[in-house]
Amino acid sequence: MSKKLFRNVAIAVGVVLVVVLVYPMRSGKGLQEATADEVAQQVPYALDILAARYPVKVGLVRTWLNSDGAVDKIAQDYVRSSMKESDLGLLDCYVLYYSVAFDKEDVRKAMADRLEKELGLA
């Protein structure tokens, strides 16, 4: 009975581990690309936060230029390219992917803070 229980638990843990490791790549992309996509999806929300903080500098410009999503697309492309240049390791990609997946609000705020510094708004 003990060996059977141990085997069942080991199988369950193995299945969960495989699911956790494979889930980010469910769209057929590599881990780094899937992580970059997950992070880039948060960019419009981070820009919303910046627009609320700086209604004239960011909000109006974004409203005027973003009728077809061009500003958001440029910002998303910038985030994707900067992530490709950073050459994240395997563990870093998993940690970042699941951090974004489970704590989107904090990631969006942190992204808005970083964009605020990079754009010289602070």
Instruction: Indicate the domain borders of the chain.
Output: 28-118
Report the predicted TM-score, pTM, of the whole model to 2 decimal places: 0.78
> In the predicted model, what is the mean pLDDT of residues 8-14?
91
Q: Which two tokens stand for residue 89?
A: 């390791």
Q: Residues 28, 80: contact at Cβ < 8 Å?
A: no
- Residue 87: left (phi > 0), alpha (psi -120 to 50), or beta? left
How does pLDDT run across 37-87, given as a tens digit for each residue?
999 999 999 999 999 999 988 888 888 888 788 888 988 998 888 888 888
Exposure letters 78-105 (e unless 16+ CB within 10 A, then b): ebbeebeeeebeeeebbebbebbeeeee
Q: Residues 58, 50: contact at Cβ < 8 Å?
A: yes
How does pLDDT run across 12-51, given as a tens digit for each residue?
999 999 988 888 888 888 889 999 999 999 999 999 999 9
pLDDT at site 107:
92
Chain centre to alpha carbon of residue 112: 13
pLDDT band at 97 (very low <50, low <70, confident <90, very high): very high
Cβ partners under 8 Å of residue 75, min gap 6: 43, 44, 47, 115
